Structure 1
């Protein structure tokens, strides 16, 4: 065993022994000329001055209102730590299927999602019956609310995984929530109070694998994952070079490819922020499409973190923001419909249940299904 010093993650140094994992090799980036999205970058090295915060707050709010995705750099987590997490994800997916399936949660179709979610749960081509090859392993918060059994490769590295997840919260999410509060002219701690790590919420770290399709199968597909929005606050996506992620611009509805950028996170705003701001912040529509030809021969491994408000937070429009008041924004979809405003927990499990029971990517009727009274999922190509 070797001992790694985690002082580059936290202001307070932290040490513990971690197992050797080997290296993780990223595939080469595509050489095809794609229609890349023009996204801004939030440089957190500017965060520690008042002028820098002011500048970043404007950058952030423009990004989440106009395009929805943005990059974050200088977030105080080394590439070595990121590479080790990709290695852990790779080693998990190398386990036999029967071993992984031991960690599938009971009640998967009722919205449960922590643990292993196997491939094949949705149809991606109705004519041939071809099924999705997406696998997921979700690891919830390490705050005592979510006891979970893990396979040995995860259990042996759990202290390191916890260290990594907590660093994402303190080094990335907390600054982003402060910047969002500043942009809305709210107290700096407005959103951090709704996203405390010690309080119960459905945050989770995810290892996600998209297994490849054959050339002929790809020709028959529209996308690997249909257009959708995420249900929480911010989603953090670590760079991986298989081009497949596309976003739909809020302003023009054009689909654009998201380019992998070195030493960055790709971040998008999600449903909870849209509801809390009455639509001023827009939940980003995105999809996973078929990779370019020079990358279709490899699997695509993703490393993500999903942030959500506390479970008991009502998703009602913030009434204290001078910005929203000047815009005349006082209600979201639920409030306008006259239906009860859900808590974050109610929204999470309603949408997760809808997603888990969704079997056919081309079924537009299902995409228009009511998730909760006052909100129907929109169809996105």
Structure 2
């Protein structure tokens, strides 16, 4: 089994896959500061002994159970609430997050006990460590650890932790701290659920700034569970009377007008993964790809 340092377990982010290790220094930040965040991501089908670093081997069973609990229990309840709030059938959103299993009927109170195999969804669990920057980089970063952005996909679960830093944009240029509540989960909406609801549900821009002075020297551990739609889900407003009545804004309208083909959740994930940390491309003639870049930077103004 190889260690993380040799690159064999590094995530292929440029291909749209976060599975594996993302080391510090991966991103070239616009402010010239070093990227001090490292994380390890696991998908349902990569939580395997052959894909785990040595330090994680004894915890493999716990990791798999944690992924399954997030998906089959927490996610399904959240999606049921959102579906009903949108005037949809209770399992409408679940059906575009998970395809086919014995649990499609009845009430879920626990995850499967037999570690159900499911490979069609790109849910993934992330353990992230935010390391304190040097004083020089702290000044370059203007005390900003992770710039403002929205998450990819549908929803994200952020497990609340005690080191301050997470802020959410509540109004233009108005950032507010998210208070820590022990044993709580922060539910964040991603950009794709805004696309599918025609703007009824809004993606939430958030960022991480440096902690208060008494916590500034500490490493900050983040535990996240990212949930996208099924890969073949077309990113356009759901065709339902309640959605058409409340909101039908399609952010890809100009993209389609320029000849762009219908874009799936998987394709959008790959496109946005390629654009993270990049600068805008300037072309003489507007092309469908230009619209995708504009949408990315609209939801990630600090990229």
- TM-score w.r.t. structure 1 length? 0.65
Alignment of 1:222-301 (within 5 A): 222=142, 223-249=144-170, 251-301=171-221
Secondary structure of the 1:333 match is coil
Change (3 A) 1:253 1:181: farther
* Contact residue 233 and residue 308 of structure 1 kept, 8 A: yes
Q: Distance in 2 between matches of 1:112 and 1:371?
A: 23
Alignment of 1:158-237 (within 5 A): 158-196=60-98, 198=118, 200-222=120-142, 223-237=144-158
Change (3 A) 1:215 1:163: same
Structure 2 unaligned spans of 5+: 100-117, 282-288
Secondary structure of the 2:222 match is strand
Q: Aligned-pair distance for 1:331?
A: 3.8
Secondary structure of the 1:351 match is helix
Superposed CA RMSD in Å reads: 2.7
Question: Equivalent of 2:34, from 131, 136, 139?
Answer: 131
Q: Aligned-pair distance for 1:353?
A: 1.4
Q: 1:314 aligns to what?
A: 234
Q: Aligned-pair distance for 1:241?
A: 1.1
Q: Aligned-pair distance for 1:157?
A: 1.9
- Deviations, residues 148-206 of structure 1 (Å, cap 9, x unaligned): 62112223321211111111112211011001110111100101111127351211000
How many pairs align? 272
Q: Distance in 2 between matches of 1:140 and 1:235?
A: 14
Q: Aligned-pair distance for 1:239?
A: 1.5
Secondary structure of the 2:132 match is coil
Q: Aligned-pair distance for 1:224?
A: 1.2
Q: Aligned-pair distance for 1:376?
A: 4.2
Secondary structure of the 2:8 match is helix
Q: Distance in 2 between matches of 1:218 and 1:253?
A: 21
Q: Distance in 2 between matches of 1:344 and 1:178?
A: 20
Q: Aligned-pair distance for 1:215?
A: 4.2
Change (3 A) 1:221 1:159: same
* Contact residue 370 and residue 376 of structure 1 kept, 8 A: no
Q: Distance in 1 between matches of 2:21 and 2:214?
A: 30
Structure 1 unaligned spans of 5+: 1-94
Q: Distance in 1 between matches of 2:264 and 2:231?
A: 7
Q: Distance in 2 between matches of 1:164 and 1:333?
A: 34
